Amino acid sequence: MNTNFRVCPETGFHVHKPAELLMKANAVAAVVFLLVGGTFGLLVGLTRWPAVHLLPADQFYLVLTAHGLNVLIFWIIFFEIALLYFCSAVLLKCRLATPKLGWVAFALMLIGALLNNYIVMQGNSSVMMTSYTPMGADPLFYLSLILFAVGALIGTFIFFGTLAIAKAENTYEGSVPLVTFGATVAAIIAVFTIVSGAIILIPTFLWSVGLVAHIDPLMYRMIWWAFGHSSQQINVSAHISIWYFIAAVVFGAKPLSEKVSRTAFLMYILFLQLASVHHLLVDPGLSSNYKMFNTSYAMYLAVMASMVHGLTVPGAIEAAQRARGFNKGLFEWLTKAPWGNPVFSGMFISLVGFGFLGGITGVVMGVEQINILIHNTVYVPGHFHATVVIGTTLAFMALTYWLVPVLFRRDLVMKGLAKWQPYIFGLGMTGVSLFLMGAGTLGVPRRHWDIGFAGTGMTHDFPAAAYTMMALNGMSVVLAVVGGAAFCIIIVASLLFGRKLGEEKSSPALAAEMVTDDEYKTLHASGGITVPGTLCLTFIFFASFAAYYFINWKYLSQTWGIS
């Protein structure tokens, strides 16, 4: 074996050392930007809590811009680059393609992210993450995003390069692991995302320095969302890969069927990115045909894919648990799961929250007509805090608890706190999501400093329930921030002070024994439904989905005639 590799004493992974360093750097940068972005999030939440109303308007809009960019872009994409390196180099036992270029990518992303924060802090670029033209920001605002995106694109191509090397050097046999396949889907979506970002941000940068006369505002919206929304579809593919990954390392589970899971991922490749149109459903100039086709992800095939993953991930866990003997009733497999292990609890809360809160609301508000009721209300952030925070961020946190002992060979500190962290964070974010959606249903606008309209000489009286929900949202934000801070503290402290593990094994085991085919055989002997508990859960999910879907059509039918 090449001396550039080490073998992980616990997982047996062959880790390419230059890749490992890059993963560490990207993951640490990710957590730092989560800390920064989360702090801004606290300030946003406290300002929108009517009784607190912490910041003055200019600072609120500044902080909101910084919050969006730090958590939606910098935290997530730094982590995803680390994840791509892991899923290629480590899972394929391969050397990482061009680690030196990996450092160039890292440097570009870091410079971009720091420069972006610096320029937003100057106060003349409070344009929100979307920076819709003709509202303009400092030219360095666009430039910093372009630098970051170029870095991320290089990182993505290093992933593809590593896949090619692994294939050429035969480091694995047959097909890549399902988790690597999911990461490939994330990388593919990342390429489309970043190229779209370049197509719109480069001309906008040139416009900001006076070299281009005009940026069409509608064209900007359409192309920008191919970047802004697709970037969140990278997350979906990434965190679903992590669900499969955690099912494997915690339970030794294998997917119910490679064919089904991979075909579901193929639907993502083909159609998930069409959902960018969700932001344009009440825009002028785009036809209903365009809106309906794209918003339905071509006949909801990508939604079908998500719902399939929603079955196959818990289904794989159920099958593994049943094969191991947790066979009593519908749910023993679930009640006997390791709920005290944050790797599992984080992942499972991510799965349930993403499906029930994020998924259902995303599809319903993505109905062309129903979108009229919620466009640009706080319902929208309510929805995406369920997808990108409960779904993606919590999955990333869960994986991080697993990565610290594997990559850094350090034991976690404050394990008691770590045990509770996913619940605190998950509960806080569930509150944020539900209360924002509730307030949005009552018409409360997003990105708005004062829904009391003081000083305008006019007013609109939102119902008292709207104020109550914004207050409850503020409290939920505080709870979520406690959970988020606990995560950052645990991880940073573990990296600095965690006991060095050396050759020692940690507990619980980092990689569960794989369930063998013989064990699975007992499960299939009956020939009936192998995962009845999961099927039951999916039926509950479906009933909630359908009920919520029809309720919203009902709401829609009660408003003014629009034609």
Which of positions 483-522 make contact with another protein (CB under 8 A)? Answer: 514, 517
Find the binder of another protein among 221, 239, 278, 322 (CB under 8 A).
Answer: 221
- The C-alpha angle with vertex 23 and arms to 17 and 29, in degrees rounded to 5, equals 140
d(CA 139, CA 309): 42
Q: Is 22 in the site for another protein (CB under 8 A)?
A: no
What is the distance between the alpha carbons of residues 506 and 528, in angstroms, rounded to a whole number? 38
Q: Decide if 441 contacts 469 (C-beta within 8 A).
A: no
Quick one: which of 7, 122, 132, 504 contacts another protein (CB under 8 A)? 132
Cβ proximity to another protein: between 451 and 491 the closer is 451
Distances from the Cα of 256 to the Cα of 58, 173, 351, 392, angstroms: 52, 20, 17, 23
Candidate list 29, 30, 43, 179; residue touching another protein; CB under 8 A: 179
CB of 252 or CB of 342, closer to another protein: 252
Map the footprint of another protein across residues 375-394, applying CB under 8 A. Answer: 375-377
* Nearest-approach distance from CB 284 to another protein, in angstroms: 3
Is residue 266 within the footprint of another protein (CB under 8 A)?
Answer: yes
From candidates 100, 460, 500, 554, binder to another protein by CB under 8 A:
460
Between 109 and 537, whose beta carbon lies closer to another protein?
537
Tokens of 8: 């992980």
Binding to another protein (CB under 8 A): which residues in 405-434?
none
Alpha carbon of 328 to those of 331, 335, 524: distances in Å? Answer: 7, 10, 16
Binders of another protein: how many residues, by CB under 8 A?
140
> What minimum distance in Å lies between the beta carbon of 9 and another protein?
17
CB of 493 to another protein, least distance (A): 28
Closest separation in Å from C-beta 245 to another protein: 6
Closest to another protein by CB, 34 or 451? 451
Contacts of 123 (CB under 8 A, 6+ apart): 58, 62
Instruction: From 167-175, 204-212, 404-412, 469-477, give the range in contact with another protein by CB under 8 A.
Output: 167-175
Kindly identify the residues of this chain, within the stretch 50-89, that bind another protein according to CB under 8 A: 57-58, 61
| Structure tokens belonging to residue 213 | 């006369």
> What is the distance between the alpha carbons of residues 387 and 395, in angstroms, rounded to a whole number?
11
- Torsions phi, psi for 445 (to 5 deg): -75, 150
Contacts of 113 (CB under 8 A, 6+ apart): 29, 33, 70, 73, 74, 78, 144, 148
- Asked whether position 540 contacts another protein by CB under 8 A, the answer is no
Query: Among residues 175 and 497, whose Cβ is nearest to another protein?
Result: 175
> Which ranges of 52-138 does DSSP label H, i.e. alpha helix?
57-68, 76-85, 99-121
Out of 85, 141, 142, 192, point to the residue binding another protein (CB under 8 A): 192
The per-residue b/e assignment along 118-136, b for 16 or more CB within 10 angstroms, e otherwise, is ebbeeeebbbbbbbebeeb
Sole window of 138-146, 265-273, 382-390, 402-410 interacting with another protein (rule: CB under 8 A): 265-273
Among 7, 134, 465, 544, indicate the residue that binds another protein (CB under 8 A): 134
Site for another protein in 222-241 (CB under 8 A): 222-223, 226, 230
Please count the other Cβ atoms lying within 10 Å of the Cβ belonging to residue 553.
Answer: 12
Is-contact 147 111, C-beta < 8 A? yes
Q: Which of 484, 344, 335, 510 is nearest to 411 (CA)?
A: 510
- Binding segment for another protein among 34-42, 70-78, 126-134, 339-347 (CB under 8 A)? 126-134
Which tokens sit at 525? Answer: 């002997």
What is the footprint of another protein within residues 317-376 (CB under 8 A)? 363, 367-369, 372-376
AA letter at 463: P
CB of 473 to another protein, least distance (A): 17
Give least dist CB 349 to another protein, A.
20
